[in-house]
Amino acid sequence: MAFASRKLSSKFRRETDENCRLTFQRDLQVTGAFINRLGLDHELQGHQGCVNCLEWNDKGSLLASGSDDVQVIIWDPFLHKPLSTIRTGHQGNIFSVKFLPSSHDSVIVTGAADCKIRVHDINTQETTQVFSSHAGRVKRLAVAPNVPFMFWSAAEDGTIMQHDLRTPEKSSGNGNPQNVLINLNAHMAGSAEAKCIAVNPLRPDLLAVGANDPYVRLYDRRMLSCRSMKLPAESSTRLPWEMLDNTANNPPEDFTLPQGCVKYYIAGHLPQKQLDYKKRYRTLAATYVTFSPDGRELLVNLGGEQIYLFDINNNRTAEKFDTSMVLAANGLVKEAACSHSNGFSLHKNGTTNGVSNGLHTATGAAAAAMMRAEMEVEEKQQDIHSGKRHRMEGKTLPTFVEALKKRANTFFEKEQYSKAIIAYNEAIARVSYASVLYGNRAAAFMKRKWDGDLYAALRDCHSALNLDPNHLKAHFRLARCLYELSWPQEAHDCLQHFKHKFPDYAKSHACEALDRDIKAALYSGTCTTDEKEDGASSDSSKSPIKKAMTPMSDQEKYWREEAYDYQSRFCGHCNTTTDIKEANFFGSNGQYIVAGSDDGSFFIWEKRTANIVRVLRGDESIVNCLQPHPTCCLLATSGIDPVVRLWSPRAEDGTKNDREVNNSDDAALANQKRMNADPLEVMLMNMGYRITGVFDVDEEEGGQRNDQAVQCRPS
């Protein structure tokens, strides 16, 4: 009766209060029930090539699609028919299409591989303006809801340009563009390529940029101004960094930026791991950036890795082990815990001198022995300690959370680490004060070892220790994570602190074995920090001329050192084949995350837990684009197939969804293997050949799944 009364009251407020009506609509636009029933609604056919971009108008009454056939089709998504087909005049694949906010949905802008940006009138189907400022492929365009007549572009010439329809002469292709807002070539070592761009919908002054490196840049546009760029007069490529005589007689242009105009974001483990990825023939590049509906979060689909979510209002620094905060006296740790200054505090990004690449993979049997010895420490003792602490705070684990923990522990014992992580995610989302949950999830991450798992485990160890400074296993796991992440000096300091704090375990086999490995790493390292920074930030596949002409700027080095860490990450998809793969918020409150994959599927994650909730087959080859409807539970997707697919909740009539991927765990595992496989094997697999052993998953009922660390085959 009480529930019915509350529901009736909610409906009454919805009908009488405008704010309540909007809140009601936002909350119920996309729900768990709708996600569970999501299925293919219709296929829009009309293109003759891959559909590379999709865009809804603000009201959701129109859908625009751009294709390799250099045409844009404007669709009525509810009548499932094309309203107009625009022959854009582009000479290359269309990569981006946008409705101009001030045009009443009558004007669109397109960017393409021919380096051109074209403005089109939908009603007359004519091209009204052409912008030829860029010297590289135009990959993304961005508009702001409250900024009429203006838009921004990101291109593979390494520049971000600002375009104003009221002053087209500044982008008339006279050889020296005057509308360059950001020139990444002046800062990045190697060949800079801008891949994606987004404007904060609630704060249009914030501009996010992704490039061909793992860093995401967030600029304050109010502190930037357009500048001119001199292009070589006689150059077939017109690339601004080639054939320029940067000598004393012809000094390079000054593209330094004002202090405080930009913040950098990156997953904390990636500055150290870039060279490792390159050795595995993987390029790390941001293929899509977007802001949450409330403008507080920034979502990045990082090609070659995972999807990361950054909280731009609560910037989080990367975590290691801060040696300056180590307290020698055990009696002081409890006091320091209140201020989180117990030696497990936040630490800036960076690398450590004396690091040897790949050392973390050489532990072999010793690592397994360490893990077994560590897991032999009875959890019961930790549970008793944690229980006392929870009772002291008046907080005990709720019954359903305790059940989730036991379920996760069972999965861990069966070596089903992904399933264990899913259960721990759900438990932590419900109860954030239990250190044992973070410690146990860290152990599962360390065993699974997908890309980024070790650093996620390190973060969990920090969380556990901030909640409980006496968490023995979290302390030891932290030292192991630091070692396996190739931070041997921090690992050494952490282990010494562990020995001092827990002298009874200092002589254990696991502790002594880890100590030997850490010392071996410290004494065998030869690569310096500067060498790693320069090597990791350049693209060896590009021309060596540019690398020599444009070293990394001092500003770039500072921005990278100050880069902020991610809030959460989403794993399961594969993003290595195309550089236009999107990731978007689904729901007016950003409740879900959606992204396509190289296996032809698209994944849906619950943002709260980062767990996969659905996997659907969206394309015969690759799903690149996913654009949620602004007000309805309707999703538009596209990829290699020359069609646009619309997805909505299916009727509850019991019919089978033939596009459902039933085992999301197996799909995610196969994608992690795909990302780490030899490029030749992936190419053969995409051609239809089956590579035995690389993408096979043991689906035997009741048997042990192959849910171990991803193995890379030698090239």
Query: Are 513 and 429 within one domain?
Result: yes
**Encoded tokens for 628:** 């949620």
Q: CA–CA separation, 83 vs 541, rounded Å?
A: 43
Indicate the SS3 state at residue 280: coil
Q: CA–CA separation, 650 vs 635, rounded Å?
A: 13
* 351 domain residue, yes or no: no
- Please report the pLDDT score of residue 191 as a whole number: 86
Q: CA–CA separation, 693 vs 544, rounded Å?
A: 38
Query: Are 433 and 582 within one domain?
Result: no
> Which residue type sits at 429?
A
The C-alpha angle 260, 151, 586, rounded to 5 degrees, equals 85
- Please report the pLDDT score of residue 551 as a whole number: 84
Integer angstrom CA distances of residue 566 from 269, 284, 449, 538: 10, 16, 18, 23
Residue whose token pair is 């022959």: 87
- Please report the pLDDT score of residue 121 as a whole number: 95
Q: CA–CA separation, 677 vs 707, rounded Å?
A: 16
Query: Are 66 and 203 within one domain?
Result: yes
Query: Are 521 and 567 within one domain?
Result: no
Are the CB atoms for 308 and 566 separated by under 8 Å? yes
The whole domain housing 502 covers: 399-525
Query: Mean pLDDT for the chain?
Result: 81
* 287 domain residue, yes or no: yes
- Helix 417-430 to helix 399-413 angle (10° resolution) is 160
The DSSP 8-state label assigned to residue 410 in this structure reads H
- Please report the pLDDT score of residue 535 as a whole number: 43
The CATH number linked to 476 is 1.25.40.10
- Please report the pLDDT score of residue 538 as a whole number: 40
Query: Are 591 and 521 within one domain?
Result: no
Query: Are 519 and 567 within one domain?
Result: no
- Please report the pLDDT score of residue 629 as a whole number: 97
- Please report the pLDDT score of residue 493 as a whole number: 96
- Chosen domain end from 472, 495, 525: 525
- Please report the pLDDT score of residue 589 as a whole number: 94
- Please report the pLDDT score of residue 699 as a whole number: 36
- Please report the pLDDT score of residue 689 as a whole number: 53
Are the CB atoms for 268 and 221 separated by under 8 Å? no
Positions of the chain with pLDDT lower than 50, given as ranges: 3, 171-173, 234-236, 238, 241-250, 325, 327-394, 526-548, 690-715
**Encoded tokens for 573:** 């998809």
Query: Are 510 and 573 within one domain?
Result: no
* 667 domain residue, yes or no: no
CA dihedral 334, 562, 595, 590 (to 10 degrees): 60
Query: Are 277 and 183 within one domain?
Result: yes
Query: Are 289 and 201 within one domain?
Result: yes
* 614 domain residue, yes or no: yes
Other Cβ atoms less than 10 A from the Cβ of 701: the count is 4
Query: Are 201 and 293 within one domain?
Result: yes
Query: Are 471 and 579 within one domain?
Result: no
pTM: 0.84
Indicate the SS3 state at residue 715: coil
- Any alpha helices (H) in 485-626, and if so which ranges? 488-501, 509-524, 529-537, 544-549, 554-561
What number of CA atoms fall less than 13 Å from residue 627's CA on the CB side? 24
Strand partners, 643: 45
Q: CA–CA separation, 466 vs 74, rounded Å?
A: 53
- Chosen domain end from 499, 525, 551: 525
Query: Are 439 and 575 within one domain?
Result: no
- Chosen domain end from 610, 630, 649: 649
**Encoded tokens for 318:** 């990367």
* 286 domain residue, yes or no: yes
Other Cβ atoms less than 10 A from the Cβ of 577: the count is 19
* 500 domain residue, yes or no: yes
Are the CB atoms for 233 and 498 separated by under 8 Å? no
* Distance, first Cα to last Cα, the chain: 66
The domain total for the chain is 2
**Encoded tokens for 600:** 């032809």
The CATH number linked to 120 is 2.130.10.10
| 3-state helix/strand/coil string of 328-375 | CCHHHHHHHHCCCCCCCCECCCCCCCCECCCHHHCCCHHHHHHHHHHH
- Please report the pLDDT score of residue 203 as a whole number: 95
**Encoded tokens for 507:** 């002589």
* 441 domain residue, yes or no: yes
* 239 domain residue, yes or no: no
